Structure 1
Amino acid sequence: MLRARDAGRRPVMLAIAGDSAAGKTTLTKGLVECLGEDRMTAVCVDDYHRYDRKERVGKPFTALHPDCNHIDIMEQHLQLLSMGEPILKPVYDHATGELVRPELVTPKDFVIVEGLLPLHTRLARACFDITVYLDPPEPLRHSWKQQRDCGKRGYTPEQVQAELDRREPESAAYIRPQRRWADIVVRFAPVAGRVDPPGTPLSAELLLRPTIDHPDLAGVLAEAGPAGAETAMHLSLHRDDDGRPVDALHVHGYVQPNESEIVKKAIWERVGQRTGDGRLDPDALGRFGEGTSDPLAITQLLLLYHLLDADHRQAA
């Protein structure tokens, strides 16, 4: 049987959950391009839809509902991937809304699993080393969905809004509850109270829950020094949904690129300590559409650190 790694070594598994148009694919794409497709496998669990787009028209639920997805097969496949075994994965074509020919997926050193419901069940969650939930403000996510679905999938604005309204109860019931299971909660949004020029990258807030070991970010700030580091990024203590204190990392999109570069360099040095070679492409990070974003790049850098750290621990 095909295997991705030597016996005793399993792939490092990262889950990125979030609602439709929350930015999951953008976050994933940068990580895959940075590490390289020869080392990373990306899987979208939206491929496990039970019905195609036409079949869903007469159903009493949307694609967000677990009953509209083969959750049991998804769980089996996640278990196999986590053990380094290949799977024959279904494929859902978002452009046409059709279920098409399945594909053979062989896990490599790292596996990113992104989609609507990767953290829905306990069995699925148990397969991951690192879990992330993308939590943009709903008005912003709605705007992103309008842009994507109208620009790339042929919908009208009225159709997109109607579908958002139809999905909202299931989003509240099944998608947003996954937030509680994430090691890292990421929110890209403008900074409240600021009026920045058009085109200013969104800032990022990352809740760093103590369910995994995070890098010493206070050390990153100290190492970067006062020349821009404090304006590019800062840490604060935040109250999580359950009232418990949690570290919040704020990465500011409004600062000058040279200020963000100081922080990125300090994090890159820590990433470099977790890999024995130079097979990383830093220029792949922070890309979205036709633009770039330092908060996105720094978020991807932190996830890259966790992936390489988990791999390093396995090898130790």
Structure 2
Amino acid sequence: MPMLAIAGDSATGKTTLSHGLAKALGPEKITWMCTDDYHKYDRQERKDLPFTPLHPDCNYLEIMEQHLQLLTLGQPILKPIYNHDTGTLDRPVLVHPAQYVIVDGLFPLWSKLSRACFDVTVFLDPPEHIRRQWKVYRDVTKRGYTEEQVLRDLDKREPESEAYIRPQRKHADIVIRFAPVEGAADSKALSATILLRPTIPHPDLSDVLSNDSKGALHMKLIRDDDGKPVDAIHVHGHANREASREVEEAIWSKLGIDAPVPDCLGEIEGGKRSEPLAIAQLILLYHLLLVS
């Protein structure tokens, strides 16, 4: 039973990435859970606390670790529920692990014990100023906050994000950064840089991706934040479907599956398609199917 972790700060795109994977694999084959459900306090209670949900003391991380271990053993868990719409703690639900388990949230890579439960680990790492824009848009349009409230909350959370969330990046097998195309007028056309660390075997794409940085899709050996070499795939926000399809077919063919590449990958709001998102999702899908 393959388990995938997708970690990252609030509003980094975790749900969007996970949704495409769940749809491609089939909802009946997926157990999809969020570590935000392990918050200790509801929104009202947190107003009087000296820390935010990004602090370990604001979460039942030991229970999260126990539940992750049970899932790896194929055992059900009684999972808590944090309601992001109302800010309340709802009744827990009984969760049985399905064929694939996807866990996203703030803390899936927090401890050595939790990391050991996963076959593949991912960290989403957009530029911080872009993430702030995404969070303002989401929380104002979907969660009923004012822009001033969101910005104030972001400033309050920043020290804990730096101390507890962003350090999880170094533990991920794959780091994905979605960011606007530099210098482009359309800020919604996001490019993706996908770092493939040598902690797990990745598909060999050298036959379809060159190291020519002028290409819409290319792969280069770069230095990671820790100075170690890492393969970096770049997918330009305006990459055309034909170029993307060639890479998708190369990845898919290595699995030996007698079925077409799922056409639901890359779906974004408004019924549009993002080629960078599709490639990122397919690489994660490759790893889940390879393990199974």
TM-score category of the 2 structures, normalised to the smaller one = over 0.9
Number of residues of Structure 1 aligned to a counterpart in Structure 2: 291
Q: How far apart, in 1, do the equivalents of 2:101 and 2:72 lie? A: 8
Q: Does 1:232 align with 2:206?
A: no
- In 1, Cα distance between equivalents of 2:2 and 2:239: 34
1:55–1:201 Cα change, 3 Å:
same
SS of the aligned residue for 1:231 comes to: coil
Q: 1:37: Cα distance to partner?
A: 1.1
The letter for the 2-side match of 1:282 is P
Q: Which runs of 5+ in 2 are unaligned?
A: none
* 1:66 corresponding residue in structure 2: 56
1:97-246 residue pairs with structure 2 within 5 A? 97-192=87-182, 195-198=183-186, 201-221=189-209, 231-246=215-230
* Contact 2:180–2:187 under 8 Å retained in 1: no
Aligned to 1:77: 67
- Aligned residues of 2:125 and 2:176 also touching (Cα < 8 A): yes
Classify the secondary structure of the residue corresponding to 2:186: coil
Please state if 1:283 is matched with 2:270: no
Question: 1: distance between equivalents of 2:269 and 2:231?
Answer: 30
Deviation at 1:266, TM superposition (A): 2.3
| 8 Å CA contact retained: 2:240, 2:275 | no
Measure, in 2, the Cα distance between the counterparts of 1:197 and 1:64: 34
Q: SS at the partner of 1:136?
A: coil
> What is the rounded CA distance, in whole Å, between the counterparts of 1:197 and 1:184 in structure 2?
29
Which of 67, 78, 93 does residue 83 from structure 2 map onto?
Answer: 93
AA matched with 1:86: P
Q: What SS does the aligned partner of 1:282 have?
A: coil
Q: Aligned-pair distance for 1:211?
A: 0.3
**Structure 1 residue 191 displacement after superposition:** 3.9
Deviation digits for residues 247-273 of structure 1 (CA, Å, limit 9, x no counterpart) = 1111111222222222222223234x1
Query: Tell me, what secondary structure is at the counterpart of 1:217?
Result: coil
1:310 CA displacement? 1.0
Post-superposition Cα deviations, 1:183-233, rounded to whole Å, max 9, x if no partner, equal 0000011344xx3342662110011110000000113438xxxxx998331
1:302 Cα deviation after fit: 0.4
Partner of 1:5: none
Asked whether the equivalents of residues 179 and 192 of structure 2 are also in contact (C-alpha less than 8 Å), the reply is yes
Match of 1:301? 282
Deviation at 1:238, TM superposition (A): 1.1
Letter in 1 for 2:220: S
Deviations 1:36-65 (CA, angstroms, capped at 9, x unpaired): 011111010100000000010000000010
**Contact preservation (8 Å) 1:221, 1:229:** no
Give unmatched runs, 5+ long, in structure 1: 1-10, 223-227, 312-316
Give the superposition deviation at 1:164.
0.2
Identity of aligned residues (%): 60
Letter in 1 for 2:110: H
Name the counterpart of 1:3: none
Question: CA shift at 1:292, angstroms?
Answer: 1.9
| Equivalent pair of 1:206/1:249 in contact (CA under 8 Å) | yes
SS at match of 1:29: helix
In 1: Cα distance, 2:261 partner to 2:61 partner: 35
